[in-house]
């Protein structure tokens, strides 16, 4: 059991960090404190709910599958909202799944990942979350580029390029910038960052070499998943399957 004093310390630290984020964003004109307060409140509620059911879910393979599906649905909805693509934003779910599913199947197939909730949910969550971030960032950059460089797009059409080809010329390089966080994390692992899978296994008593091996697999799988997501986003936008419901390009954190 966690002592009352530990809960008090936890509460104080969480309040300080949330207040600091909101205050800095407000003081520097980056954003209002509201999105940070909302994000913190949601994190508390969601983690409390997950903590209440996770033990039961982990012991039932069927419920583990349902939990993973819920992760994908929430990731798709979040990415669609962030990219302001409306109902056609459902297509971004393709980008999230196109690399995640094969990666999980491969790891399970060769025996690196046991078919158990305790393994599938953390690794699946890491891959889905990475694919979601890459999808959101690449789609935002691509749609912004297509709007801001519309003259170049029209010029390419005038030169005889087909619409998908013309769009790819404009959006491919801006979309690729979404891969920088994953690349930097992989390049600096062990020197700057100690990712969650590695630390979690060490805290759980696993040998250092085993924790390092699993983390290496997860990082490289994440790279492949995110590259697949970005490539899919480029293709979806080039073919007109993903378009903004609103053409306003301002950054909204709410």
For 151-183, the DSSP string reads HHHHHHHHTT--HHHHHHHHHHHHHHGGGHHHH
> What pairs with residue 189 in β-bridges?
193
Q: Does residue 37 share a domain with residue 69?
A: no
- 102-156: per-residue pLDDT in tens? 999 999 998 888 888 888 888 899 999 999 999 999 999 999 999 999 899 899 9
| Residues contacting 186, CB < 8 A, separation 6+ | 219, 220, 222, 223
Residue 211, in any domain of the structure: yes
Total domains in the fold of the chain: 2
Same domain flag for 24 and 71 = no
Do residues 195 and 101 both lie within one domain?
A: yes
**pTM, two decimal places:** 0.82
What is the DSSP annotation of 61-121?
A: HHHHHHHHHHHHHHHHHHHHHHHT-GGGGGGHHHHHHHHHHHHHHHHHHTTSS-SSHHHHH
What are the pLDDT digits (tens) for 197-217?
Answer: 665 655 556 666 666 777 788
How many angstroms separate the Cα of 103 from the Cα of each of 176, 195, 225?
20, 19, 7
Asked if 45 and 75 sit in the same domain, the reply is: no
What pLDDT, on a 0 to 100 scale, did the predictor assign at position 111? Answer: 85
Q: Is residue 253 part of a domain?
A: no
pLDDT of residue 68: 93
Within this chain, do residues 123 and 41 fall inside the same structural domain, yes or no?
no
| 244 within domain boundaries | no
pLDDT at 36: 92
Domain-embedded: residue 245: no
Same domain, 90 and 214: yes
Q: What is the pLDDT of residue 128?
A: 96
CB 85 within 8 A of CB 60: no
Q: Is residue 31 domain-shared with residue 141, that is, in the same domain?
A: no
Residue 252 lies in a domain: no
For residue 178, give its domain range.
Answer: 64-238
Residues in the chain where the model's pLDDT stays below 50: 247-251
* Whether the Cβ atoms of residue 214 and residue 201 lie closer than 8 Å to each other: yes
Sign of CA dihedral 227, 230, 236, 238: negative
- The residues, any chain, with a CB within 8 Å of residue 43's CB and separated by 6 or more, are none
Sign of the torsion formed by the C-alpha atoms of 203, 204, 207 and 209? negative
């Amino acid at each position: 059991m966690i002592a009352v004093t530990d809960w008090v310390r936890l509460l104080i630290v969480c309040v300080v960090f949330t207040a600091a984020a909101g205050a800095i964003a407000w003081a520097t004109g980056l954003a209002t404190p509201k999105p940070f307060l909302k994000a913190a409140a949601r994190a508390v509620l969601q983690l409390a709910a997950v903590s209440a059911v996770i033990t039961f879910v982990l012991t039932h393979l069927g419920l583990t599958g349902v939990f993973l599906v819920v992760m994908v649905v929430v990731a798709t909805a979040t990415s669609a909202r962030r990219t302001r693509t409306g109902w056609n934003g459902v297509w971004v779910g393709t980008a999230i799944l196109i690399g995640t599913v094969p990666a999980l199947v491969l790891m399970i197939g060769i025996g690196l990942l046991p078919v158990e909730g305790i393994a599938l949910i953390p690794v699946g969550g890491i891959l889905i979350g990475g694919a979601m971030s890459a999808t959101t960032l690449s789609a935002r950059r691509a749609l912004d580029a297509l709007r801001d460089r519309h003259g170049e797009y029209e010029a390419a059409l005038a030169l005889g390029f087909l619409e998908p080809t013309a769009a790819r010329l404009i959006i491919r390089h801006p979309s690729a910038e979404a891969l920088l966080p994953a690349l930097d994390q992989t390049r600096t692992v062990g020197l700057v960052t100690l990712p969650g899978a590695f630390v979690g296994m060490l805290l759980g008593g696993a040998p250092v070499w085993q924790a390092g091996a699993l983390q290496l697999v997860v990082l490289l799988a994440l790279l492949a998943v995110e590259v697949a997501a970005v490539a899919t986003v480029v293709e979806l936008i080039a073919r007109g399957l993903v378009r903004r419901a609103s053409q306003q390009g301002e950054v909204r954190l709410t």
